[in-house]
Amino acid sequence: MKSFLKRLLKRISHQNHGKSSAFSTSGQTKTSTNQKNEAPLSQRATVGYLKKELANCSDIIYHDFSVAQTACTIIYINGMVDVRLLQDNVLNPLTSFPESADSKDLLKHLFDESALPVNKQKQISTPEDALTGVLDGQVLLIVDGSEKKLLIGLSSPVKRGIEKPDTETVIRGPREAFVESLDDNLVLLRKRLKLSTFKTEEMIIGTESKTKVVLVYIEGKNNDKLVKEMRYRLSSIEINSVFGSSYLEEFIEDNPMSPFSQLQYTERPDTVCASLLEGRVAVIVDGSPITIMAPVTLFMLMQSAEDYYTRFWYATWIRWVRFVFLLLSLLLPSFYIAVTTFHPEIIPEDLLLTVASAREVVPFPAVLEAVIMELFFEALREAAVRIPQAIGQAVSIIGALIIGTAAVQAGIASPVMVIIVSLTGISSFITPHYDLGLSFRMLRFPIMILAASFGLVGVAIAMLLIYIHLLELKSFGYPYLSPLAPMIRKDLKDTLVRAPWWAMGVRPIFKLTNSKAGRRLQGRKWDKPAEDKDE
């Protein structure tokens, strides 16, 4: 009986062992089959992923071909790739590969020896990187049997040629302006600054647009903290899309609530090069012809590129004219309101009688008359910008003449007010920096209200408040009214005057007094970069 039970147990154990062996063998066979199927599926899986993500995109080109009995696929966006370069530098070298070779030779030839005669090549492995590269205008090469993919830079995007600057015209200076191509803009700078210390740092900003932004500076000529601060502020930006440099300004300014711009913008490469040599930094955005520079002062915004291409006597005289008319554009209507309302005794008697007789038929107080005429002038200015260029200038001039004449004849405005508003508008056009002129145009209205309420005392209070604000304002920690407040004697040679070139041998001093912006961005406080906290 015992022997029978032993034989039965032994038979059962043998059967279970056979089943487990069969199970393990079948599992190994199944696993090995999957491993064999993984390599052929890698190409199809990647192409399938891209076709799923780029569904209903008729401009995506999928080109399948075979090299050395190995399936390959090229994916790119039609119109963003130079087809001739693709044929000469990619397809022809691949199709000339010997058919007798196997896939291992092809993979080694492509990924180890860099067989393609193209400078911009990048090996990637994830489908997400492949999708980003295709959307960036690169050619994606997928080879069956390899987990690696190859991104090839053969982009040929539609772009505008180098033209004259539209807003910063000069008589004697160069006539090249930035365009929307980031590479072309960097070439324009490299052509003028043949320095090994000319540095460019690229970063991607915008979770959806993935815009390339380049920080440009000259190493050794500026404050290292300035570069670190700009790098830190740019890297802290959280935004969906960036389609121009103006998108970044409100993020990186020290005080975004100020009416005054704390960054300088330009479309001239020579202006950017000059600012870099002064120790400043610049930010170039792909797709925008406007470059922003920091730090900046009020006196920098009052400078024009023409100042440096003409004799210093003429440049100094034009700067004085600019400052005079800048004050006129800010204070002339307010001064007229204050004098006619509260202080008529300071006007000569003959002129007072003329002004009084002209205002006799006007039913509105001086402040309301000035506000109405200023709003009309602002509307004409904006209409001239929006109307097609061929008729915009004529419409603005004729509209101003007709509206001014009709307003006087209808008794809505006095001839003196029309003259004052016209002089104010012309004065605002003299400001070289558009944003600075716009700031003074906005401040003009509250000053007029204070002038109508308190007379010249209200004008003085408004000017005092503006002056206090400018004293507290900083651009990346640099005082906005420097070099006058605080006084830096060596830098006065290029503020109210433009000294001759042989007298400007010392570079401006950009001493950052405070690198904190003191505000919140996306729920986080601006602070010094981590590497600066211990300093």
pLDDT digits (tens, 9 = 90+) for 169-227: 888 888 899 998 898 999 999 999 988 889 999 999 998 888 999 999 998 876 788 89
Which tokens go with 492? 């006065």
CB of 361 closer than 8 Å to CB of 411: yes
Given this model, what pLDDT does residue 6 score? 52
Residue 120: is it exposed, middle or buried by C-beta count within 10 angstroms (0-12/13-18/19+)?
A: exposed
Given this model, what pLDDT does residue 27 score? 40
Q: What is the dihedral of CA 44, 48, 50, 54, to 10 degrees?
A: 150
Given this model, what pLDDT does residue 7 score? 56
φ/ψ of residue 291, rounded to 5: -105, 140
Q: Which residues of 424-456 are buried (b: 16+ CB within 10 A; e: fewer)?
A: bbebbebbbbebbbebbbebbeebbebbbebbe
Tens-digit pLDDT profile for the chain (535 aa)?
445 445 544 554 554 444 444 333 334 333 333 333 333 346 788 888 899 889 888 889 999 888 878 888 999 998 888 888 888 888 888 888 777 777 777 777 777 666 678 778 888 888 888 998 898 889 999 888 788 888 988 877 667 778 888 888 888 888 899 998 898 999 999 999 988 889 999 999 998 888 999 999 998 876 788 899 999 999 999 899 999 898 999 899 999 899 999 999 999 999 999 999 888 999 999 989 999 999 999 999 999 988 999 999 999 999 999 999 999 999 999 999 999 889 888 888 888 888 888 788 788 888 898 898 888 888 877 777 777 766 666 666 666 667 777 777 777 888 888 888 888 988 888 888 988 989 999 999 999 999 999 999 999 999 999 999 999 999 998 899 988 888 888 888 888 888 888 887 666 666 555 444 433 343 344 444 444 444 3
Q: Which of 173, 176, 213, 220 has the alpha carbon at shortest distance from 195?
A: 220
Given this model, what pLDDT does residue 19 score? 41
Rg (alpha carbons) of the chain, rounded to whole number:
35
pTM, to two decimals: 0.77
CB of 265 closer than 8 Å to CB of 290: yes
Given this model, what pLDDT does residue 398 score? 67
CB of 225 closer than 8 Å to CB of 478: no
Given this model, what pLDDT does residue 22 score? 37
φ/ψ of residue 62, rounded to 5: -115, 115
Reported in sequence order, the residue ranges of 161-278 that DSSP labels E, i.e. its strands, are 198-205, 211-218, 264-266
Q: Which of 464, 508, 486, 138 has the alpha carbon at shortest distance from 303?
A: 508
Domain ranges (residues) in the chain: 52-152, 182-295+517-532, 311-472
Rounded Cα distance between 247 and 285, Å, is: 10
Fill in the amino acid letter for 25: T
Place of tokens 């479309």: 267
Q: What is the pLDDT of residues 283-293, one digit of tens each?
A: 999 989 999 99
Which alpha helices (DSSP H) does 54-87 contain, by range? Answer: 83-86
Which tokens go with 234? 């740019």
